[in-house]
Amino acid sequence: MKTLLAVASSPRKNGNSETLLKEFCRGAEDTGWQVDMLRINSMQFKPCQACDACSKDGRCILKDDMQDVYPKMSDADALVMASPVTFGSLNAQLKMFIDRFQCWWHAKFNLKKPFVPDTPKRQGFFICVGALKRERYCENAIEIIKVFFTNINYKFAGSLSFRGYDEKGAILADPEALAKAYRAGKDFIAGVEESLQQ
């Protein structure tokens, strides 16, 4: 069974971004995929210390919960991440998580030994939710995700941005948004399966 690694970054359990992520994952599960869900806010880990010890072998020397994440990321068949937009960017939890992949940056660009093969078969998707309705409010978060996916050798397959949702649970009053996330999950998996068959 193929595995979708789902990363929820909101500090609010069952908040708007996590609710949309779960709908996306439900779409994936309905196609026969297994979902492995990570809640960053429940993890115990430090931010990157910029020590560059990972430049030797591409492995982070900090012994915390991130050591369980790296093999999950390398073993997954596809990836989806979700974040609330905070001050026009990713929230602190997801940015700290991403920064801990500096070791993978060294593995790919300096050591030429990436942990995920550089092929278009591994794909990633991003979901973000912002309180402001301004059209460009989510752009910075998406650009950071694109850079991250490039560094870890996951092809950016698309994103969904939802604006104008602030209070916890506000997204539940919008069944169209929930249905959109569910369809996106099914469509994403269909695209991934097509690439895996090539």
Helix axes 16-29, 175-197, angle to 10 degrees: 50
- Residue 186 is predicted with a pLDDT of 98
The upper half-sphere exposure of residue 17, i.e. CA atoms within 13 Å in the direction of its Cβ, equals 31
Q: pLDDT per residue over 109-121, tens digit each?
A: 999 999 998 877 7
Q: Taking the CA atoms of the chain, what radius of gyration do you get in angstroms?
A: 16
Q: What is the pTM of this model?
A: 0.95
Residue 135 has pLDDT above 80, yes or no: no
- Residue 146 is predicted with a pLDDT of 98
Q: Which residue has the tokens 């030797």?
A: 56
Mean pLDDT, the chain, rounded, equals 95
- Contact of 128 with 94, CB cutoff 8 Å: no
Q: pLDDT per residue over 30-78, tens digit each?
A: 999 999 999 999 999 999 999 999 999 999 999 999 999 999 999 999 9
Choose between 162 and 133: higher pLDDT: 162
Residue 156 and residue 147: Cα distance in Å, rounded?
A: 9
Question: Right CATH number for 3-197 from 3.40.50.1980, 3.40.50.360, 3.40.1160.10, 3.90.1750.10?
Answer: 3.40.50.360
- Residue 125 is predicted with a pLDDT of 98
Percentage of residues of the chain with pLDDT beyond 70? 100
Section 19-26 average pLDDT:
98
User: Domain boundaries in the chain?
Assistant: 3-197
Comparing CA positions, the residue from 100, 39, 42 lying closest to residue 67 is 100
Choose between 149 and 1: higher pLDDT: 149
φ and ψ at residue 32, rounded to 5 degrees: 100, 10
